[in-house]
Amino acid sequence: MVVVLTGAGISAESGLATFRGPDGLWEGHRPEDVATPEAFLSAPELVQRFYDDRRAALATVEPNAAHRALARLEHALGDAFLLVTQNIDDLHERAGSRRVLHMHGRLKAARCTECGESTHWDGTLVDEPPCPFCSQRALRPDVVWFGEIPYGLSEIDVALRRVRVFVSIGTSGNVYPAAGFASFARAVGARTVELNLEPSLGIDDFVEHQHGPATQVVPAWVDGFLAEREA
């Protein structure tokens, strides 16, 4: 089983901002001011606009060579491969990845806080459109905020118990539980690889690393791994 975890860094060269830019802000905001249930309760319009803007920006960006390399890897490995992403963008899918586990949710989905149903959404939410299921004007971005439980944890746990190769791409290792996956993989004897612009906080969990831009290090690593398998 090969498990790949991606973070904001894999989408950086496509033009999407990473979680903590050089100014430590995220699109001009502090994460706790826009990515928590408390923020949504106290400033719903600010939070809805933050996500509406990021959802609209998706139409202006394209997947990059790193996203496409992971789609090739999935095509070669089939169900011996799982892609877990912390990202809420749709670039993995648009690059051809099929089995993508968005553990922090998706920008192009809305969840109704009344009936709980989730639906594909690529418009705005700040204007309080009615839920397609219950008609209540109670839709929120279907993303996982700080303090909320990530999606797919049991599927991730099953995969991590069988993992032989764990690859972490474009993540700083700031956010849990994702940041703990590498040490779990190492504990079960997997080969752990970090492909990132610079060493992440979890660098000690990785036996291998290639530091550089994802569009260079990811295709190179995937090609090498697939060549190794053919040999």
The conformation of residue 173, written as its DSSP 8-state character, comes to S
For residue 24, what are the CA distances in angstroms to 7, 47, 150, 199? Answer: 16, 18, 23, 17
Q: Which of 200, 206, 219, 221 binds ligand BV8 (CB under 6 A)?
A: 200
Query: Within 54-83, which residues bind ligand BV8 (CB under 6 A)?
Result: none
Contacts of 226 (CB under 8 A, 6+ apart): 72, 73, 76
Strand 165-169 relative to strand 2-6, pairing = parallel
In the complex with ligand BV8, which residue's Cβ is closer, 20 or 137? 20
The verdict on 213 binding ligand BV8 (CB under 6 A) reads yes
Per annotation, catalytic residue among 67, 92, 102, 104: 104
In the complex with ligand BV8, which residue's Cβ is closer, 20 or 75? 20
For 64-179, list the strands marked E by DSSP.
81-85, 100-102, 105-112, 118-120, 139-143, 165-169
Residue 209 is a catalytic residue: no
Scored b (16 or more CB within 10 A) or e, 91-117 reads: bbbbbebeebbbbbbbbbbbbbeeeee
CA distance 88 to 93: 11
What is the pattern of x (binds ligand BV8, CB under 6 A) and - over residues 120-159? -----------------------xxxxxxxx--x------
Residue 33 one-letter amino acid:
D
The verdict on 110 binding ligand BV8 (CB under 6 A) reads no
The verdict on 100 binding ligand BV8 (CB under 6 A) reads no
Q: Is the peptide bond before 22 cis (omega within 30 degrees of 0)?
A: no
Q: Which of 108, 196, 219, 222 binds ligand BV8 (CB under 6 A)?
A: 196
Q: Around 40, how many Cα atoms within 13 Å sit in the side-chain half-sphere?
A: 19
Min separation Cβ 215 and ligand BV8, Å: 7
Three-state SS for 213? coil
The verdict on 9 binding ligand BV8 (CB under 6 A) reads yes
The verdict on 193 binding ligand BV8 (CB under 6 A) reads no
In the complex with ligand BV8, which residue's Cβ is closer, 131 or 214? 214
The verdict on 222 binding ligand BV8 (CB under 6 A) reads no
Query: Within 30-59, which residues bind ligand BV8 (CB under 6 A)?
Result: 35
* Interface residue list for ligand BV8 (CB under 6 A): 7-9, 12-13, 18-20, 35, 86-88, 104, 143-150, 153, 170-172, 174-177, 196-198, 200, 213-214
